[in-house]
A and B are shown apart, each in its own frame.
Chain A
C-alpha cells in the first residue's frame, strides 16, 4: 500500500517492542514483528498517539528541514497560532513573528486568517437546509478526515466540503503575495509550521486537492528550538513585525483551540477533541443516534491543536495564553481580498472514502474467512494483552486467517497451555514400558 504517504515512522534501532504503541493506536495499525513495532500503512492515520507514549522515543515524524527555504527565491510561511502558546512572554506576538522574518521569510500569516476568510462561507453553508448531511464535520484536523475515510467510510458525506483553514490561509497568502509583487508561482516557496504529523501528511498528500498547495512543512517543535537558539544568541529587540495581524478574537480561538461556539450561532455546533471521544461520537453518528447537531469541529488531539504532538508546552497553559492573546484582537478585522473568496475556500476535488480492504472481494469467500476468524478468536483468551504482537485477540485471529506471517502459538497463553499438555504427554510416554523392555531394570537394586 505504498499509495499512502505517512509521516509517522518507527526507528527500528530504538524500538524494543514494548507494545505501548499497540495499545493506544486508535485504528489498530500497529503490530510487533520480530521484536520491533511495524505500522500497517493502510490503517495508519498519522494521528501520532504512538509518538506520545513511546518510552524509547523510537517513533518520529518526517518533516522538512528549515534549510529547505533557501531553495526558493520568495519564501512564505503559514504558521499555526499554537506557536504563540509555547512562550512564557506571549503578550508581544509581533516580536515572535518578527523572528520568522529574521529567518528569511518574506511574508507570514497565521492559520487563523483562514478562519477570518472562510467563517461567513461556512455560516451560510450551514444555514442552507439543502445541505442535509448533518452534522457536518470540519476538515481542519487531517487525522479526523483520515479516521473517517478509513474507519467510517459511510460518513464521508458528513465532512464539510470546503477547504480547511490551513489551505485557505496558504492560498490567501500566495494569491496576495503574487498580486502585490507580480512574482510567478515557481519562484515562491510556501511553507507550513505544523503542530502535528497529521498536518504534515495533509501537506504532502492533500485529500481534497488535485495538487499540493504547500512546498514544505516544518515541525513546531523544531521551530521552537530554532527560535530559542536565536533568542539566546542574538539581540532581536528591533525585530518586530510591522504589518497588522490579520486575525480576530474568534478566528484565533477557533484555529488553535477549536472553539466554534459563538460564531455560527444560528446552528448547533460542538467541539469534540481527543481521538477516543471522536471515535465514540462517530460510532453514534453511524448508528443514526445523533440528531439536531449542525456542525462539529472535531480534533484528534486532546484540547485540539494546542495539544498537538509537536508542541512543547502543556496544552492547558498554552490554551490560557492563546485566550489571552485573543482578547487583544479585533472582533471583525478588515481583510484585503483582491480575489474571489469563494474560489480559495473551495476544495479541489471531493473527499473519497478509503476503507480498509475487505477480507475478500468475493462475498462468499469473505463470509467463510469471517467464520474462520471467529472460530480462531473463540480459542483465544480475550486478554488483549498484546504479547502476540497484535493489539487485540481478534486482530491476531484476523491476521492468522488473512495469511499474515503469524501463528496461534504467538499467543503466550495458548503456547503455555500447549506446552503443558505436551509435557504431560511426554511424562506419560516416558513412564510407559515397552514389552521388549525388562521392567526389572527399572526397579531399584536390592
Chain B
C-alpha cells in the first residue's frame, strides 16, 4: 500500500455506517468532524429508491451530523445524472417521496423508463406502458435490483422482480445505477478531482460497499456495524483493504496512516 498516492477522497455509506435507524453510531459525529479537518473530499453515498436527498439530510442533521446536501450521492442521483447524460425523458416508476430528486427533468412524451420501488405504480397498465416504451427502444434504468425487503408485517417484493419481468418481456438488460455498480462509485467521485486509486470507501455491506468500491479501483473499509455479520469479510476476493470495529476506528486509521 506504500506505493499508493496520498488519499484525496473518502466515500461514506449512511445507514449501518453512520447511523442505525434513528440512532447514530457512537462517536460517529465526532469522527466525521475530525475527518473534516483533513484535506480530503467527503461524499456520502447510499442506495435508496425512496428517500430524496432532502429527507436523508434532514435525518442526518437531526442526529447531529454536519453534512451538506451537495455531499450526498445516492442511487437516485446516479439515475438523474444518467438521464441528463443521455438527454432522455423518463417515465418514472418511483415513489412520490423520491420525485424531488428529479425536479427539472422533463417527463412529457417519455423515451426512457426508470424503475425504483413504487408498489402503487407497479400495476398492469403502468407496467404495459413501460414495456411498450422499452420495446420501442427506451432504455430501462433500474435504481437497484433488490429481490425483496423486510416490512413490519413480513417480506415484500422489491424493484428487482419487476425489472426482471420487463427485461424478459423486451429481451433487454436494464442499466443498474446503484451500488455495487462501478459507474456509481466513479460518478460519486465526479467533482472531487481525483482518481479512484486516491479514494477510499467506508461501509457495512461487504459486497455492495467494499467489493463495489474495490472493483472500481478504490480501497474499501468494512465496518462491523449495521448489517455486518461475522465472516462477512470473507465474502469478497480480494478481501477488504481493512475491517474495523466502526466508523470512528476507520477514520482514525485514515488520519494516522493514509494521509
A is bound by B:
no
Residues of B within 8 A of A (CB): none
- Contacts from A to B (Cβ < 8 Å): none
